[in-house]
Amino acid sequence: MGDTISAAIFQHLVELAALELDEEEAAYLRRELNSQLRSIRELEAIQVEDSVPITSHGVPYTSGTRPPLRTDEARPSNEADDILAQAPEVENRYIVVPDIPSETLE
């Protein structure tokens, strides 16, 4: 099977997904991905005419069921402290992050 997920492709996916994995976990995940692909390949056998539209959600929204646009107006919220309290590190109501990798451009 030419298009199984190779170790190199897998490593690229891990980069895209911003994950750090240990070896054992990586081996399990790559095996399961390839196993899922065998099921996904069932889709290749289905003849779908070009006229069949793409469905992004099942139920169509009609003029009767589509929610009206709401007016664009600011509403006060008193939840700011509760929301800020959820951040792992805060200083003077700023959320703290470690150094952002950067390079100086010529």
Partner 1 sequence: MTAELCDLPAHEIARRVRAEEASAEEVLESALNRIRAVDGRLPTSDPYHSEPEDRATLHAFITVAEARARGQARAVDRAVAAGQDPGPLAGVPLAVKDNFCVKGTRSTAGSRILEPFIAPYSATPVERLEAAGAVTIGKANLDEFTFGSSNESSAFLPSPGNPWDPARVPGGSSGGSSAAVAAGEAAISLATDTAGSIRQPAAFCGVVGLKPTYGRVSRYGLIAFASSLDCPGIVSREIRDAALALGVIAGPDLRDATAAHAPVPDYTEALDGGVRGMRIGLSPDYFLLKYPDPETGELREQRILPEIEAAVQHAAEALAREGAEIVEDVRLPNTRYGIPAYFVISRVEAASNLHRYDGVKYGYRHTDETSDLRTLYRRTRGQGFGPQVKLRILMGMYVSAEQYEKGYYRQALRVRSLIRQDFERVFDPAGPQRIDCLLTPTTPTTAFEIGRVYGDSVLMQYADLLTVTANHAGIPGLSIPGGLDSSGLPIGIQLLGPDFSEARLFRVARAYEQATSGEDWRALRPMVPA
One of 92, 100, 103, 106 touching partner 1 (CB under 8 A) = 100
Element (H, E) at 90: strand 90-91
**Both structure tokens of 41:** 């390949």
Could you please report the per-residue DSSP string of 24-44?
HHHHHHHHHHHHHHHHHGGGG
94: DSSP letter: E
Q: Which amino acid is at 95?
A: I
When the beta carbons of 3 and 106 are compared against partner 1, the nearer one is: 3
94: contact with partner 1 by CB under 8 A: no
Q: Identify the residue among 1, 8, 54, 105 touching partner 1 (CB under 8 A).
A: 54
Identified binder of partner 1 from the candidate list 1, 8, 18, 105, rule CB under 8 A: 18
Q: How many CB atoms lie within 10 A of CB 26?
A: 15
Q: Give the Cα separation of 33 and 36 in Å (integer).
A: 5
Which CB, 39 or 92, lies closer to partner 1?
39
Minimum distance of partner 1 from residue 102's CB (angstroms): 9
Residues binding partner 1 (CB under 8 A): 3, 5, 9-10, 13-14, 16-21, 25, 28-29, 32-33, 35-36, 38-44, 46, 48, 52-59, 61, 64-68, 70, 79, 82-83, 85-89, 95, 97-101
